[in-house]
Amino acid sequence: MHHEHGGNIYKYSNNNLIDFSANINPYGIPSNVKQAMHDAIDLCIHYPEPNADRLKHALAEKYNLKPENFFCSNGAAEIFYRLVNVIKPKSAIITAPTFSEYEQALLSVNCEIKHHFLLKENDFSLTNSILSDLDDNIDICILCNPNNPTGKTINTNLMNKIIKKCDENSIYLIIDECFLDFIDNEKELSVLNNKSNNLIIVKAFTKMYALAGVRLGFCISHNVDLINKLSYFGQPWNTSVIAQQAGLAALKLTDYPKKIAQNIKVLRDILYLELKKLNLTVFYGEANYLLFYTFDFKLHEKLLKYNILIRNCENYIGLNKGYYRVAVRTEEENNKLIKAIKEVLKN
């Protein structure tokens, strides 16, 4: 299966393309973060702070933890590759469909992968059936909350059962919370307060602060030994001067994520209803994107004529032709998307 992500605007020469294929905050980089990156240019004659210590201290303050609970990375994706090199799992459980880099990271260490398929009849939600897969033959489980590309969150009660089962069977549990910032009740859904030594939480500045090209992620764990080992599996200076300064500036915007999440929720719910009016099979998600199905298998190609790029999801394990994901963008851009899809389907 072809390994590809959304957001590859470089394939197209069209400068007017509206990118619905990458799930990024449509309001762009906050002005103070832009200024911090601009101001950091002169610092680029120096090496970055080796372990991003100031950024780790700022993160510790935000999440009420200690700096030693954090590891900063070149985007969230880097963490998965470092983690599998530290843990060296022989067998893993991941859901399908989900973010493909989990699988790629696991394959890089020759790990055997078992897919737990999320079913269309369950709206692609994770159910209690995952618990029976978490036996003592499994070394690692990676879950995305909310899941990409479905936008479905994991029920808090089920999440607690998963953590308990992983603890009982000494399974490392990695929870990718990169899109949780876009959800109103993110504090209730996050597993940040769980102190399990087997638990690793992955987050990023990519989505909420529109810093996809800067590459800045981090992980959190109470397993300080594991956090320390992550430094040894990969290059030093993995977060640039500009990335670190961007992160520090972003963390000063304490109310920003909540405001954006509220705006996105309103826009998402309108977009969901408008897509449904077009007789598409739309799966309601809680993040800043929506998954839908149509019998028009060439929709993504046809929309390019309208300067619109959407994510063709046929290369996700667990999905096939006709599945598409669209990011929630501004009201004006969402209206252009709806109008374009309507015209394509009419023709």
* Domain closes at, from 221, 251, 281: 251
* Domain closes at, from 251, 285, 320: 251
Model confidence at 2: pLDDT above 90: no
Angle, CA of 309, 148 and 117, to the nearest 5°: 125
Q: What is the CATH number of the domain that holds 233?
A: 3.40.640.10
Both 227 and 190 in one domain: the answer is: yes
Q: Are 96 and 130 in contact (CB under 8 A)?
A: no
Both 194 and 302 in one domain: the answer is: no
Tell me what the mean pLDDT of segment 132-146 comes to: 98
Q: Tell which residue, 318, 322, 316, 326, has the closest CA to residue 293.
A: 322
Domains in the chain, number: 2
pLDDT bracket for residue 347 (50, 70, 90): confident
The H or E element containing residue 141 is strand 140-144
Angle, CA of 233, 317 and 95, to the nearest 5°: 65
Residue 2 lies in a domain: no
Residue 4 lies in a domain: no
Model confidence at 190: pLDDT above 70: yes
| pLDDT for position 184 | 86
| pLDDT for position 15 | 73
**Residues, the chain:** 347
The Cα 116–Cα 142 span in angstroms is 11
Residue 330 lies in a domain: yes
Tell me what the mean pLDDT of segment 153-162 comes to: 98
pLDDT bracket for residue 16 (50, 70, 90): confident
Tell me what the mean pLDDT of segment 51-70 comes to: 98
- Taking phi over 0 as left and psi of -120 to 50 as alpha, with beta for the rest, 124 belongs to left
Model confidence at 338: pLDDT above 80: yes
Q: Are 243 and 44 in contact (CB under 8 A)?
A: no
Model confidence at 258: pLDDT above 60: yes
Range of the domain at 139: 31-251
Query: In percent, how much of the chain has pLDDT > 70?
Result: 96
Buried b or exposed e, range 35-48, using 16+ CB within 10 angstroms:
ebbeebeeeeeeeb
Residue 295 lies in a domain: yes
Q: Are 248 and 59 in contact (CB under 8 A)?
A: no
| pLDDT for position 149 | 98
Both 146 and 219 in one domain: the answer is: yes
Q: How many CB atoms lie within 10 A of CB 231?
A: 14
* Domain closes at, from 212, 231, 251: 251
| pLDDT for position 324 | 99
Model confidence at 18: pLDDT above 60: yes
pLDDT bracket for residue 244 (50, 70, 90): very high
Both 157 and 288 in one domain: the answer is: no
Both 214 and 283 in one domain: the answer is: no
- How far apart, in Å, are the Cα atoms of 243 and each of 70, 159, 231, 238, 254? 16, 32, 17, 10, 18
Buried b or exposed e, range 316-342, using 16+ CB within 10 angstroms:
bbbbeebbbbbbbbeeebbebbbebbe
Both 282 and 324 in one domain: the answer is: yes
| pLDDT for position 296 | 96
- pLDDT tens for 79-104 read 999 999 999 999 999 999 999 999 99
Both 168 and 280 in one domain: the answer is: no
Strands of 97-136 (E only): list them: 112-117
DSSP 228-280: HHHTTSS-SS-S-HHHHHHHHHHHT-TTHHHHHHHHHHHHHHHHHHHHHHTT-
Both 123 and 138 in one domain: the answer is: yes
Both 13 and 145 in one domain: the answer is: no
Both 275 and 241 in one domain: the answer is: no
CB within 8 A of 190, min separation 6: which ones? 177, 180, 201
Tell me what the mean pLDDT of segment 289-295 comes to: 98
Tell me what the mean pLDDT of segment 175-202 comes to: 96
Both 202 and 335 in one domain: the answer is: no
Residue 117 lies in a domain: yes
Angle, CA of 284, 215 and 182, to the nearest 5°: 25
Residue 1 lies in a domain: no
- What is the residue-averaged pLDDT of the chain? 96
Tell me what the mean pLDDT of segment 291-304 comes to: 97
| pLDDT for position 14 | 67
Model confidence at 305: pLDDT above 90: yes
Q: Tell which residue, 207, 204, 205, 234, has the closest CA to residue 219.
A: 204
Q: What is the CATH number of the domain that holds 281?
A: 3.90.1150.10
Residue 213 lies in a domain: yes
Both 189 and 126 in one domain: the answer is: yes
Q: In a 10 Å sphere around its CB, with 0-12 CB exposed, 13-18 middle and 19+ buried, how is residue 236 labelled? A: exposed
Residue 3 lies in a domain: no
pLDDT bracket for residue 161 (50, 70, 90): very high
Model confidence at 73: pLDDT above 70: yes
